Homo-oligomer: A and B are copies of this chain.
Amino acid sequence: MQLIKASQMDLEAMVRKIVEEKITGESPELKINGGLLMIPVGVSNRHVHLCRKDMDILFGEGYEMQPMKELSQKGFYSAKETVVVAGPKGAIPGVRLLGPMREHTQVELLASDKWILGLAPDIRESGTLADSPLLTIVGPKGTVLNNSGVMIAWRHIHMNSAEARLLGVNDGNYVKVQAVGNRAVIFDHVKVRLGDSFNTELHLDVDEANAAGVDNGDLVKILL
């Protein structure tokens, strides 16, 4: 049993090595696998997802966001609308709303925003709402004192479920991702989220993208 396991692992390692060596080549039969390891970057600035209730307070009863630009994930968009976010030390104007609306309001800030706002949000995964610092959101029709879901986003990959199966990656796995160039880095602890309709993409915030010298659409490599 031990021997069988060992030889399976050897085979797997061998195949992986061959695939990796071929990524930069033109071998058509390996193009799909090679392509799966090289994924595009999507860069997020600070932004706000609003729930229906907060939208009503900030923009008026029944208000609907006006989509400005489609995002890479189907059905998601940045809106024309922006809000001001404010903490005990200062405020940041022009913070973009992303659509569609969510069940719970969530504010994703940059690490450097803590100095402007006087808050110390955790680095956490989207949807983790409890115990976040108090943040005031100001809109044209009203103000909300938000007491949940204020965070710095944990870096993550939206991965198409079918592609994930080919790579042997499961929902919630952590992988490393490598960016090349003057500011070459390997990002560790990158969480993978699977979705049948996801376009596979590494989501970084602007601090992370600046530190790695990458921009929207640049290709980075998953290290399995």
Q: A-side interface residues toward B, CB under 8 Å?
A: 110-112, 123, 154-155, 182-189, 206-208, 210-213
| Chain B contacts for A111, CB-based, 8 A | 210-211, 213
Cα(A155)–Cα(B181), bound, Å: 12
| Chain B contacts for A210, CB-based, 8 A | 110-112, 207-208, 211
Q: How far is the CB of A79 from chain B (nearest CB, A)?
A: 20
CB-CB under 8 A for A183 and B123, given A210-B211, A211-B212: yes
| Chain B contacts for A186, CB-based, 8 A | 185-186, 188
Cα(A155)–Cα(B210), bound, Å: 12
| Chain B contacts for A154, CB-based, 8 A | 182
| Chain B contacts for A182, CB-based, 8 A | 123, 154, 189
